[in-house]
């Protein structure tokens, strides 16, 4: 078994609490589904939000999904001029038998423009 990392991002429509919670929930579920990750395989998740998203902590959505004993952290993405707005990102570490090249990174909605090199 190896420790691997997976990236993901989603762009949300606006800075509202429920919109952020729904977006993070969708992202976490899709990352776990595409990589066959069970909750007990998760080591930690780091969430970032662009500076224009302030209505809720992204980690709260993961807690609502039942990820109670997984270390979670939220941070603000750096404010680079011209960067994609209203974007939530995650970096999750997990135990897996998957090889590095088998990891499926997930970019949803407008965030798909961040990684056009990846299959959707």
54 within a domain of the structure (yes/no) = yes
| Average confidence score pLDDT of the chain | 95
Point out the residues that are catalytic. 7, 63, 74, 77, 89, 107, 115
> Considering the domain boundaries, does residue 120 fall inside one?
no
Instruction: Supply the CATH number for residue 111's domain.
Output: 3.30.1330.40
Number of independent structural domains in the chain:
1
Whether 99 is covered by a domain: the verdict is: yes
DSSP the chain: -EEEEEEEEEE-SSS-HHHHHHHHHHHHHHHHHHTT--GGGEEEEEEEE-TT--SS-HHHHHHHTT--SS-EEEEEPP--TTPPSSEEEEEEEEEES--GGG---EEEGGGGGGGTTS--
In a domain, 92, yes or no: yes
Q: Please tell me the predicted confidence (pLDDT) of residue 118.
A: 66
pTM: 0.94
Q: What is the pLDDT of residues 71-98, one digit of tens each?
A: 999 999 999 999 999 999 999 999 999 9
Domain range enclosing 22: 2-115
Q: Tell me: the pLDDT tens digits for 4-56?
A: 999 999 999 999 999 999 999 999 999 999 999 999 999 999 999 999 999 99
Stretch 102-109: mean pLDDT: 96
């Amino acid at each position: 078994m190896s420790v691997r990392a997976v990236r993901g991002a989603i762009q949300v429509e606006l800075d509202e609490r429920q919109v952020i919670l729904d977006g993070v929930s969708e992202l976490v579920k899709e990352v776990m589904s595409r990589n066959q990750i069970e909750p007990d395989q998760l080591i930690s998740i780091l969430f970032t939000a662009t500076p224009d998203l302030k209505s809720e902590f992204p980690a709260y959505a993961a807690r609502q999904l039942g990820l109670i004993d997984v270390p979670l952290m939220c941070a603000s993405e750096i404010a680079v001029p011209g960067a994609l707005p209203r974007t939530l990102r995650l970096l999750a570490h997990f135990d897996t038998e998957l090889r590095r090249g088998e990891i499926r990174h997930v970019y949803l909605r407008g965030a798909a423009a961040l990684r056009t090199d990846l299959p959707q």
